[in-house]
Structure 1
Amino acid sequence: MANIDSTAAIHSHQSWIGIVQIITAATCWGTLGIFSTYLNQMGFSGWQVTILRIVTAAVIVLAMLPTLWPQLMKLSARQWFGLAMQSIVGVLGMSVCYFFAVSYVGAGPAVALLYTAPVFSLLFSKFLLSESITRKSIALAFMAVFGVGLTMLGEQAEVNWGILLGLASGMCYSLYGVLGKRAMHDAHPAPLVFFTSVVISACGLLLLPETYQTYTQLLTLPLSTWGYVLGLSLLGTVVPFGLYMKALEKLPASRASVFTIFEPLTAIALAMILLHQALSWIQYLGVTLILLAALLNAVVNGTTTRVPRWLKRRQTV
């Protein structure tokens, strides 16, 4: 009995550590909109902010290469293609759409629109992973859509490119998760998926002349600008993903996703405090509905998880 109690206490302690790691990671992710806004003010476009984030993060994660090299050498052409699609759509596509949305509508509404990802996940999971769509999930999707509609009714948030790009970032974000599940189907560990998702996008960006022009422009600016770039790539990308991976060793993914709600809350709070980007009351209502739908979606999916058909087929082989 004493051993059982001791094991339970250790498990509970580890769970709390995992929760703290998830909340810290989500808080770090919430700073992305702030750093991108500062870089916008320094003269960088949304596309240039994407370049700075991904290429700088790739340089940092190259430290993982010696450890992951044996696994990289075992990948087939089909597996490389799957990881490349996840990188281009889920990382590069999401970053471009999100940072442009921040420049159009501000950090608060942009991160709220990013969290429409569960709505798109319903469709993509149905067609790409053969997962079922429940009535509860459909209801939550409609709640999120209604919330998006309310964010468009504010005094400054109109139906413009910012709204559309924010929705596109949510779509790409959902594809990152769905394509990531397919990558996990090939038994790729999380560090490998993260490494390839950043490095493949960075390699693509290095083929563009604008990448070198962006870093040339960066060299002409004050040293504090490098702090924003490091914050964007290290604090907003590499560190939170590392924390998230460590937390998944202690918590189920469904439970961990609940605590990522601190990301948009952090982004909205920082936008109000540091950038003085206030929303109208109806926009706050819309943001609340979007975040509530995302939270309930995590809770509902955590209690009604079903094994997709493609995984069942793999288990019977």
Structure 2
Amino acid sequence: MANSHSATAARLSWIGTIQIITAAICWGTLGIFSTYLNQIGFSGWQITILRIVTAALLVLVMLPKLWPHLVKLRPKQWLGLALQSLIGVLSMSVCYFFAVIYVGAGPAVALLYTAPVFSLLFSAFLLNETITRQSALLALMAVSGVGLTMLGDEAQVNWGIILGLLSGMCYSLYGVLGKRAMHYAHPAPLVFFTSIIISAGVLLLLPETYHTYGQLLTLPLHTWGYALGLSLVGTVVPFALYMKALEKLPATRASVFTIFEPLTAIALAILLLHQSLSLIQYLGVVLILLAALLNAVLNGSTTRVPRWLKRRQKA
């Protein structure tokens, strides 16, 4: 009986791992789709609109299932979810897509992965978590990597670097504020649904949103494919896979495999966009990604039996 449960846990672990890697690869396509849309004539702000509003239309299918949870939310809980949405989704998307335009998909996604550094600081202030010496050293490694990515043919700080760092900051707040939301026992699908819907609702108040979709309607069909890819492949599908994987893997182990996101973005940028970095910039990217990977591994990546399987074992 114990062997049967162990085999089931191992199989679920493999399935969860494949789901996480697939989700990370999907997230890695965001820089490619956004670059193609920018080349057609859409600004970073318009690309953000296309991603979030289109994704909101897609996730509306979740509304009937989540409605019983939504009607139970108190005003304070709505405020927390709204902050997570506007900072972690809307602001992160704007900063990230402008960073892609300014510095390219590879460096932008590397700068996005400075999020663990910011998470240390925000977790200490907002969640009262302790910053360990190990975490501080990893943060220093990531900061060193950022410094190296700022060194190209000329040593200078540009808007792309600043926006890339801001995207990492907002991304970290999505996780920290999401953790606070989970303290209210909100299910993960509810947190994702509200993070997309609230940001989309704000964007629908702006005339630029309707101008953007009007512009999209005048363009060839393949442009619509880029917009759909941005929302479906780069947003909805990976998050759905990630949520399913978390049913089979601990979050710390799942975070290890998200390293495939920046690797995918960098590989696609080289192969499809012919973007390249200097040797010292590649070293900076490696330091950032290594810091993110070690942060995930050292904070616990052992396989655990899912809770529902533990309950079966006790029964």
Q: Which residue of 1 aligns with 2:276?
A: 278
Aligned-partner Cα distance in 2 for 1:47–1:272:
24
Mapping of 1:145-224 within 5 angstroms? 145-155=143-153, 158-224=156-222
Mapping of 1:1-317 within 5 angstroms? 3-155=1-153, 158-302=156-300
- Say how many residue pairs are matched: 302
Unaligned runs of 5+ in 1: 305-317
RMSD of aligned residue pairs (Cα, Å): 1.1
**Cα pair 1:28 1:235 within 8 Å, conserved:** yes
Deviations 1:10-40 (A, max 9, x none): 1101000000000000000000000000000
**Cα pair 1:26 1:261 within 8 Å, conserved:** yes
**How high is the TM-score relative to the length of structure 1?**
0.94
Structure 1 residue 300, shift from structure 2 partner: 1.8
Aligned-partner Cα distance in 2 for 1:83–1:214:
26
Q: Secondary structure at the match of 1:302?
A: coil
**Cα pair 2:16 2:244 within 8 Å, conserved:** yes
Q: Secondary structure at the match of 1:291?
A: helix
Structure 1 residue 255, shift from structure 2 partner: 0.6
Deviations 1:139-190 (A, max 9, x none): 0000000000000112278411000000000000000000000000000000
1:15–1:154 CA distance, 2 compared to 1 (3 A) = same
Aligned-partner Cα distance in 2 for 1:5–1:68:
37
Give every structure 1 segment of 4 or more consecutive aligned residues whose post-TM-superposition deviation is greater than 3 Å: none
Structure 1 residue 133, shift from structure 2 partner: 0.5
**Cα pair 2:253 2:301 within 8 Å, conserved:** no
Return the letter of the residue paired with 1:12: A
Aligned-partner Cα distance in 1 for 2:242–2:104:
26
**Cα pair 1:147 1:290 within 8 Å, conserved:** yes
> Mean alpha-carbon deviation: is it higher for 154-163 or for 10-19?
154-163
Give the percent of matched residue pairs that are identical in Structure 1 and Structure 2: 79
Return the letter of the residue paired with 1:82: G
Aligned-partner Cα distance in 2 for 1:87–1:302:
28
Q: Which residue of 1 aligns with 2:309?
A: none
**Cα pair 2:256 2:301 within 8 Å, conserved:** no
**How high is the TM-score relative to the length of structure 2?**
0.95
